[in-house]
Structure 1
Amino acid sequence: MDAEVALLAQSAGTTLVALMATDAWHHVRDGITQFWRRTQPERADTVAAELEAGREDVIAAADADDQETLDELRLQWQGTVRRLLVARPAAVQELRALLDQLDPDGSAARRITQHATASGQARVYQAGRDQHITER
C-alpha cells in the first residue's frame, strides 16, 4: 500500500500544480476542497487557503520560468496528499476518481521538462520514457 500511496500522491501533486495555472483552476480548487471536506474536514479551510496561495506561487513561477519553485510546489502538494492518504487510507479510491475527473487523459501528470548542459567531451542522454543506449 505504501508504494501505491506514494505513487498516487506524486501524481496528485504533479496534476494539481500543473492545473493550477489553467482555465480549469476553479473546477480543480472546488474538487480538491470538497475532497478534503469529506476526508479531513478539520483541515479543509486551511487546504483551501493553501490552494489559493499555491496558485499565485505557480503562476509567478511559471511566468518567471522558475522550474525549481514549481518542483518544490509539486513536492509540497505531494507530501500534503501523502499525509492525508496515510491518515485516511479509505480516501485512495476517491482521490484516484477525482484525479481522473480533473485530468481525464492524464496529460498534466505526464508533463515532462528536461534541461541539460554538456561541455567538453561530455554526453547528455535524455528521454521522456524508455531509453536504451548501446555504446561500442
Structure 2
Amino acid sequence: MEIELAALAGQAASTLVDGLATAGWERARQALADLWSRVQPDRADRVAADLTDARAAALTARSTGNEVLEQGLVTEWAARLQQLLAAHPELVPELRRVMDELRPAGAEDAAPRTVTMKVQASGRSRVTMAGRDVNITNG
C-alpha cells in the first residue's frame, strides 16, 4: 500500500504543479486546500498559501526553463501528499477525483494510475528501474 500511495502522490503532485502553471491554478489551489480541510482544517489556509508560493515558483521554472526547480516542486508536493494519504487513506478516492478534474482533457491515457515494477537479479547483474527519465553514465 505504501508504494501505491507514493505512486499516487507523485502523479498527483505532477498534475498539481502543471495545474499551478496554468490559468486554472486557483481551482487547483482550492481543491487541495479543501482536501486538507477535511482532515486537518487548521492547516488548510497554510496549504493554500504554500500553493500560491508554489505557483510563483512554477511560473518562474516554466518561464526560465528550469526543470530542476519544477521537479523540486513536484518532489515537495509528492512528499506532502504522501504524508497526508498515509495518515488519512480515506482521502485516496477524493484525491484521484480531484486529479482527474485537474488533468487536461485527453491526458487521461498518458497518466496511468498504477505502476508496478518488479525485478529479479542475480550474480553480477545490474538493474535500473525508472518511473520516468533516467540517465546512466559509466565513468
TM > 0.5: yes
Q: Which residue of 1 aligns with 2:95?
A: 95
Structure 1 residues 31 and 20: alpha-carbon distance in aligned structure 2, compared to 1, 3 A threshold: same
Equivalent residues of 1:39, 1:88 under 8 A apart: yes
CA offsets, 1:46-73, max 9 Å, x none? 1111000000011011111000000101
Structure 1 residues 43 and 106: alpha-carbon distance in aligned structure 2, compared to 1, 3 A threshold: farther
The amino acid of 1:21's aligned partner reads A
Structure 1 residues 93 and 75: alpha-carbon distance in aligned structure 2, compared to 1, 3 A threshold: same
* CA distance in 1 between partners of 2:52 and 2:108 (Å): 19
Equivalent residues of 1:17, 1:73 under 8 A apart: yes
Q: Which residue of 1 aligns with 2:66?
A: 66
Equivalent residues of 1:14, 1:109 under 8 A apart: no
Aligned with 2:81: secondary structure? helix
**Number of residue pairs the alignment of both structures matches:** 112
Q: Which residue of 2 aligns with 1:26?
A: 26
Percent of aligned positions that are identical: 37
Q: Which residue of 2 aligns with 1:6?
A: 6
TM-score (structure 2 length as normaliser):
0.73
User: Please, what is the CA RMSD of the aligned residues?
Assistant: 2.2
**Structure 1: segments with no counterpart, 5+ residues:** 112-128, 130-136
Structure 1 residues 32 and 101: alpha-carbon distance in aligned structure 2, compared to 1, 3 A threshold: same
* CA distance in 2 between partners of 1:25 and 1:45 (Å): 16
